[in-house]
Amino acid sequence: MKVALTTWEGRISPVFDTARTVVVADIENGRPVSQRDEAFAGDSAQGKITKLRALGVEVLVCGAVSRPLADLVSSCGIRLIPFVSGELREVLEAVIAGRMPDTAFSMPGCGCRRGRRFRARHGNCAENPRRTSHAIEPKVE
């Protein structure tokens, strides 16, 4: 499985729409076999999708993402795990372990860390399955 994680200063990039780089990890038998940095040529949504598809990415983990870009990613067959925050290494470990989406990595302000009081307005995190993909199951061979 190829997973791309948007990055900025060693963390998940806060906004996919403006992200400049991704880390692409090849995962086999529950272990990363390779990891490399890739740069987007510009801010074009179509350019980003084209790059991800050319790299063979199956899963994209990112921070906030606009609805049109999220729809475009999903329509291209890439599983999207949005509204993620945290250190790149920790998030990648959670992906490999099949724990994503996970509220421990939800972006600040999504409301899930504060209880259910804000959920009606900010339900875009891991607690709201309508806006996130299904959990990634670790591959057992």
Q: What is the pTM of this model?
A: 0.76
130 falls within a domain: no
Task: State the pairing for strand pair 31-39/79-81.
Answer: unpaired
> What's the first-to-final CA gap in the chain, in angstroms?
13
What domain range includes position 65? Answer: 2-114
Residue 108: inside a domain, yes or no? yes
The total domain count for the chain is 1
Residue 136: inside a domain = no
Which structure tokens are listed for 55? Answer: 């790299």
105 part of a folded domain: yes
CATH number of domain containing 15 = 3.30.420.130
58, part of any domain:
yes
Instruction: Report residue 64 as tokens.
Output: 């906030």
Cβ neighbour number for residue 111 with a 10 Å cutoff: 21
Q: What confidence tens digit (pLDDT) does each residue in 93-125 have?
A: 988 888 877 676 776 665 554 333 333 333 444
So what's the pLDDT on residue 32?
86
Let me know if residue 55 belongs to a domain: yes
For the stretch 23-61, pLDDT in tens is: 999 999 888 899 999 999 877 888 999 999 999 999 999
- Give a yes or no: residue 120 inside a domain: no
Q: Percent helix, strand and coil across the chain, each rounded to 5?
A: 25, 25, 50
